[in-house]
């Protein structure tokens, strides 16, 4: 009698030779990766019709594990590379995977201009509120008063609200979730895949090693519970005062605009106008 060998349904999308992964124990990046794979699987997307572009940092290692075309770029440059890829092949579903330091510090200008241009990209930012891979330095997303290797007396700078920044720059789909909300996170990624235009999904993903240790969270579960307790739905936040929302993470869908031409459509329209004149 032959033995039935079962394997995890996600394995067909993964490069198994690179497992187990090299992220630190307690890292949230694997949970985001699982949500991406679930979204692709549930939508029935052909993995050969996707491409992944990553920046530098822990989240930038994700391309190792997905069995799809992968472009690993220099620090802060995931979005311009993803833009070029999308313009060359508009049929591709292009994912830009970037950390908060990569996106909002080194790549800050690329972020706002990709949103302004409404480039048809699925941008997923793993926000661990610190530069994790490069030594735990303070990031543009580190909350005020929190500690990092470069802010030993506590961060004195106001952090970016990445979703509000994306919205102000013109992004047409914007959501924020945490890795403790896998179901709505997967739904958000599915919406991003189906959306025509610039989608930005921010995912709060705790870093127990760099952020957690420096801020006295004694183990990963304490840090995860803190992030979850600080999270407030966008609907509930509407009835809260500014003081009540101090230090909270608002989660949910911020922006969803349809029928706004993306950059590829604008370029195609321009090309057709020249062809009609000739």
Which string of b and e fits 78-111 if b means at least 16 CB within 10 Å?
A: bbbbbbebbeeeeebbbbbbbbbbbbbbbbeebb
Strands 122-127 and 199-204: parallel
Instruction: Name residue, tokens 């409404």.
Output: 118
Q: Write the pLDDT tens digit of every residue in 48-85.
A: 999 999 999 999 999 889 999 999 999 999 999 999 99
5 or 207: which carries more pLDDT confidence? Answer: 207
Which of 2-31 are b and which e, b meaning 16 or more Cβ less than 10 Å from the residue's Cβ?
A: eeeeeeeebeebbeeeeeeeebbebbbbeb
**Residues 98-139: pLDDT tens digits?**
999 999 999 999 999 999 999 999 999 999 999 998 999 999
pLDDT tens, residue by residue, 250-261: 999 999 999 999
pLDDT at 3 over 90: no
pLDDT for position 185: 98
| CA–CA–CA angle 165, 168, 172 (5° rounding) | 100
pLDDT of residue 2: 67
* Model pLDDT, residue 269: 93
The yes-or-no verdict on residue 163 having pLDDT over 70 is yes
Region 146-161 average pLDDT: 96
Q: Which of 262, 196, 205 is nearest to 231 (CA)?
A: 205
Distance CA 55, CA 87 (A): 19
What pTM was estimated for this model as a whole?
0.94
Q: How many CA atoms lie within 13 A of 224 on its CB side?
A: 12
**What domains sit in the chain, N to C, each tagged with a CATH number?**
16-276 (3.40.50.970)
Residue 163 burial by CB count (10 A; 0-12/13-18/19+): exposed, middle or buried?
buried
- φ/ψ of residue 129, rounded to 5: 65, 25
Residue with the bigger pLDDT between 236 and 22: it is 236
Widest distance between CA atoms in the chain: 71
The more confidently predicted of residues 85 and 5 is 85
> For residue 218, is it left (φ>0), alpha (ψ between -120 and 50) or beta?
alpha
For position 19, what pLDDT does the model report?
86
Strand-by-strand arrangement of the 93-99 sheet = 69-72, 50-54, 93-99, 122-127, 199-204, 173-178, 249-256, 231-233
């Amino acid at each position: 009698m032959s033995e039935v060998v079962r394997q995890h349904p996600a394995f067909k999308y993964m490069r198994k030779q690179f497992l187990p992964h090299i992220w630190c124990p307690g890292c949230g990046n694997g949970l985001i990766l699982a949500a991406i794979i679930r979204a692709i699987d549930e939508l029935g997307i052909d993995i050969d019709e996707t491409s992944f572009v990553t920046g530098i940092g822990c989240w930038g290692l994700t391309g190792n594990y997905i069995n799809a075309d992968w472009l690993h770029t220099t620090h802060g440059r995931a979005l311009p590379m993803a833009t070029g890829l999308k313009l060359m092949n508009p049929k591709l579903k292009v994912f830009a995977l970037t950390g908060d330091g990569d996106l909002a510090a080194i790549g800050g200008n690329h972020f706002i201009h990709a949103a302004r241009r409404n480039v048809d990209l699925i941008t997923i930012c793993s926000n661990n509120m610190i530069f994790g891979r490069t030594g735990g330095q303070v990031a543009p997303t580190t909350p005020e008063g929190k500690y990092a290797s470069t802010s030993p007396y506590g961060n004195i700078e106001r952090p970016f609200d990445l979703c509000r920044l994306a919205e102000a720059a013109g992004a047409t789909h914007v959501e924020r979730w945490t890795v403790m909300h896998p179901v709505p996170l997967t739904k958000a990624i599915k919406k991003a895949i189906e959306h025509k235009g610039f989608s930005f999904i921010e995912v709060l993903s705790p870093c127990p090693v760099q952020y957690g240790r420096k801020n006295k969270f004694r183990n990963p579960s304490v840090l995860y519970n803190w992030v979850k307790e600080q999270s407030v739905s966008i609907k509930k936040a509407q009835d809260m005062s500014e003081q009540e929302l101090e230090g909270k993470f608002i989660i949910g869908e911020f922006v969803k605009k349809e029928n706004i031409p993306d950059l590829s459509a604008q370029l195609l329209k321009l090309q057709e106008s020249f062809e009609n004149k000739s």
